[in-house]
Structure 1
Amino acid sequence: MVETTPFGPDDLDAYLRRIGWGGERRADLQTLRGVHLAHTRALPFENLDPLGGSAPSLAPADLIAKLVRSRRGGYCYEHNSLLSFVLEALGFRVTLLTARVVVGAERFEERPRTHMALLVEAPGDPQPYLADVGFGAPGALLEPVPLIAGVEFHGAGRRHRLVHAPHRGPLELWVLEAHAGSEGATGAEGATGEFWRAQYAFTVEPFERPDFEVINWHIATNPRSPFSRRAYVQRVTPDGHVLLNGPLLTETHADGIVEQRELTDEAEARRVLDVEFGIAVPDGIRLLS
């Protein structure tokens, strides 16, 4: 155990029970992959605190109380902060990174650095890994990927790769891309006719936890932020992905079939979050505007 971790043994036990992880508690790749995947499948992505007008706390005790001991989830700063504390408690070295979400962007520089990701290193392993359990989108990582450019990675049914992109800074710019289908899809075309869609861009410059307190407050409270204006809730399932974006509920199945329906009743929306996402909506939060 890392002596400086804010997590005690009881907190770590509670977290591992919450995500259903019963494997070895070692700082190695197998544990990193297993915990990462279990986290993404057990803990939903949700923005109910910003929707209610407040910035969620990133303090370790508050993350444990909300995401682990309650029927709640969180967004990227909460998920990846929680995972970083857990990984440090298990003996990994974790560097906090910021990224620009570039899905649909023509120029990467048009997007601010508002996403949180992790660079994870295990003792005795020279290869660092990109880990991220807080990217609330179907193109998110389900398992960590090695920080290697130009190689395709398969993780829990999803395909990703990291590439370099030109930019003006002194550090290399990394771009996480998700597979977007074969011919006929939109995105960056590969040499074999496969298409890839950029998800976010980042450098390996380390950021500190106070940096994310500022970013978290801005994203949660800025009236122009999508997270403060409409419900955005998603959950990974063993056979697909479920998303509530405002009133629109979208279910994407492993075979590619997509089903959508619009929720029109507040009580129904609360039932959907309870049953489909495992979330107990706090009193005073209105899901449908």
Structure 2
Amino acid sequence: MSDSVQFDLDVYLRRIGWEGERRADAATLRGVHLAHLRALPFENLDALRRQAPSLDPADLMAKLVRGRRGGYCYEHNTLFACALRALGFRVTLLVARVVVGADSIASRPRTHMALLAEVPGEARPYLADVGFGAIGSLLEPMPLVADTEFTGAGRRHRLVHAPHDGPLEMWVLEAHDRAKEDWTAQYAFTLEPFEKPDFDVVNWYVGTSPRSPFTRRVYVQNVSADRHLLLDGRLLTETRADGTVTEREVTGEAEAHRLLEEEFGITAPEGMTLLTD
């Protein structure tokens, strides 16, 4: 069954609250990207149970669109790629090395999915990513241009080139850290295209390996116009649009489940233990 048959654009757009144009242009790309992020939470509940989630469009529709669940990068960006293609964009799947806190780019495996979206009539494609579950992630897609600051929905990013031995240029996405007044590298990638079977393999590893950070503790976030809310293990962090950060520890299972329901819009699988540490 083709992705277009399994994916329902009308239902998806209603779920994310998009009522704008359905054209393959830059304004629609930015608008649908931001609407997706604000409507669909990031979460790793399947991986926490050592289950690799399905990346089939029909299953993603059932879980993220029709169900009270979210997903992690492979789920979000696979779903978003289906939406962009249905809207008329050409999309390339990319794989990146997450380098936050890394000593070097080469020290991290390529495990993150990102997208390259081409707008008809425009010379340069856009980096799109609705699945990077971190404070400071892209809220709007940005043009693939090096050494140029981009501001999208209040967040500042830039792309730079890094030394690389391979035949393709290495791009690094950097986010501006307001507290440190400095730039922080988020992930590095080349423009080599990847396909669904490639992500089936890495999704299985990230979703089931005891070495994966997503199998060790609950990790949930959502984004709204005025705040970014993150539950990382027992730590709940709220980052307001003005940069104010508040943190507190979640007291126990009952509160963790309540937060998922009321603050993140997620219904956890019945009987699931969220706080494993």
In the alignment, residue 69 of structure 2 is paired with which amino acid? R
Note the 1:24-43 alignment, pairs <5 A: 24-43=21-40
Q: Is 1:11 the equivalent of 2:15?
A: no
Equivalent residue in structure 2 for 1:87, among 75, 84, 87? 84
Equivalent residue in structure 2 for 1:143, among 118, 135, 140? 140
d(CA) in 2 for partners of 1:164, 1:253: 31
The answer for unaligned runs of 5 or more in structure 1 is 186-193
In the alignment, residue 269 of structure 2 is paired with which amino acid? P
2:67 is matched with: 70
Give secondary structure in 2 for the equivalent of 1:7.
helix
TM-score (norm 1): 0.93
Equivalent residue in structure 1 for 2:232, among 233, 245, 248? 245
Indicate conservation of the 8 Å contact 1:21/1:38, yes or no: yes
In the alignment, residue 94 of structure 2 is paired with which amino acid? L
Name the % identity: 70
Offset at 1:10? 7.6
In the alignment, residue 17 of structure 1 is paired with which amino acid? R
In the alignment, residue 276 of structure 1 is paired with which amino acid? E
After TM superposition, which residue ranges in structure 1, 4 or more long, deviate above 6 angstroms? none
- 1:51-82 CA-partner distances (Å, limit 9, x unpaired): 11211000010000000001110000000000
1:128 is matched with: 125
2:172 is matched with: 175
2:100 is matched with: 103
TM-score (norm 2): 0.97
In the alignment, residue 202 of structure 1 is paired with which amino acid? F
Indicate conservation of the 8 Å contact 1:43/1:235, yes or no: yes
Q: Is 1:61 the equivalent of 2:48?
A: no
Note the 1:109-120 alignment, pairs <5 A: 109-120=106-117
The answer for unaligned runs of 5 or more in structure 2 is none
Q: Measured at CA, do residues 5 and 155 of structure 1 come closer, stay the same or move farther in structure 2, by a change above 3 Å?
A: farther
Offset at 1:284? 3.1
Indicate conservation of the 8 Å contact 1:180/1:196, yes or no: yes
Note the 1:158-197 alignment, pairs <5 A: 158-181=155-178, 185=180, 194-197=181-184
In the alignment, residue 94 of structure 1 is paired with which amino acid? V
Give secondary structure in 2 for the equivalent of 1:223.
coil
Q: Across the two proteins, how many residue pairs are aligned to each other?
A: 276
Equivalent residue in structure 2 for 1:228, among 211, 215, 228? 215
1:281 is matched with: 268
- 1:112-161 CA-partner distances (Å, limit 9, x unpaired): 00000000002222210000000000121000000000000000010000
In the alignment, residue 119 of structure 1 is paired with which amino acid? L
RMSD: 1.4
Equivalent residue in structure 2 for 1:212, among 185, 199, 211? 199
